[in-house]
Amino acid sequence: MNRLASGITLLSAALLAASCSRKSDSVALKPTAFGAAIVESSGGKQFGQTGTSLPQPVVVQVNDPQGGAVTGALVEFAAAPGVTFDPASALTDSSGQVSTNVALGGMAGRYQITASTLDKARKKVELKIEEIALGYQQTLGRRLNEQYCDRCHNAESTAERVSNYDNLEVKPHPFTEGDTLNKLSDADLTAIITYGGPALNKSALMPAWGNTLKKADVQALIAYIRAVSDPPSRSAGPVYAKN
């Protein structure tokens, strides 16, 4: 056999193997049961840098009409281009749940994830979950928040940080508290961060950070606050959803 014929044989074998692989990957999962509702168990409204995986998986649950967990229901995940799921579809386990790892797209903003299942009539039942992708400035603001702000503005302690929230007589607003913080302009937030609470007749327990943070740092903090506010602020960025 000459070299040309040998090369053609090897190429044909490679194409056949790839074809078999695609056929194997495209085998559809077949549900053994059907639910009436799909609900979020955990993983919604997480923050992550653009193009990276969220820190925790998204977990959803399929329930029957009585609210009981359904085992063997098919769940499929979809979102705007650029978002990936691992896995993108799966059958619910004995607790009626499916877990998927989500990697966000490359643009800053809010990404709407759709989890869907089928009911007994084979009609699609959907659940929409939002996740937040932080751009460069917002990611810098998040790091500054973790370094300077989170100890007082976050009531939950972690292994790395003990919260001081419960020790404060006047409770600071969490940065996700959009109902309050969305009413403050960027100029208001700049004044409070730079000169402390008394700058806007707020609690003196809010210290002045103007001697510690640069102007660009303050702007990054505000960008982060706007990105994570719930409900979203007007400057929270676009929402990306599946077509």
Query: Which pTM was predicted?
Result: 0.83
Q: How far apart are CA 24 and CA 3, in angstroms?
A: 32
**What pLDDT score was predicted for residue 235?**
82
Question: Does residue 191 have a pLDDT over 90?
Answer: yes
Higher pLDDT, 142 or 21: 142
Give the whole-number percent of the chain exceeding pLDDT 70. 89
Please determine, for residue 140, whether its predicted confidence score (pLDDT) is greater than 60. Answer: yes
User: What distance in Å separates the CA atoms of residue 160 and residue 150, rounded to the nearest whole number?
Assistant: 11
pLDDT in tens, 74-117: 999 999 999 999 999 999 999 999 999 999 999 999 999 999 99
* Confidence check: pLDDT of 223 > 90: yes
In single-letter form, the type of residue at position 44 comes to G
160/227: higher pLDDT:
227
Helix (H) / strand (E) element for 76: namely: strand 74-78
Contacts with 10 (C-beta within 8 Å, 6 or more apart), sequence order: none
- Whether residue 121 is predicted with pLDDT greater than 70 in this model: the reply is yes
pLDDT tens column, 194-207 = 999 999 999 999 99
Q: What is the DSSP letter of 103?
A: E
pLDDT at 24: 39
Question: What is the pLDDT averaged over residues 211-232?
Answer: 96
Q: What is the pLDDT of residues 30-70, one digit of tens each?
A: 999 999 999 999 999 999 999 999 999 999 999 999 999 99
- Say what the pLDDT of residue 243 is: 80
Indicate if the pLDDT at residue 241 is higher than 90.
Answer: yes
**In the predicted structure, residue 17 carries a pLDDT above the cut 50:** no
Average pLDDT over residues 233-237: 84
pLDDT at 178 over 70: yes
pLDDT at site 25: 41
pLDDT at 21: 39
Please, which pLDDT band fits residue 20 given cuts at 50, 70 and 90?
Answer: very low
What the chain holds in terms of domains, given with CATH numbers, is 37-134 (2.60.40.10), 136-237 (1.10.760.10)
Mean pLDDT, the chain, rounded, equals: 90
The answer to whether 242 touches 79, Cβ cutoff 8 Å, is: yes
Q: Answer whether 91's CB lies under 8 Å from 98's CB.
A: yes
**pLDDT of the residue at 2:** 53
Per-residue pLDDT band for 160 (boundaries 50, 70, 90) equals: confident
Q: Which of 136, 133, 110 is nearest to 216 (CA)?
A: 136
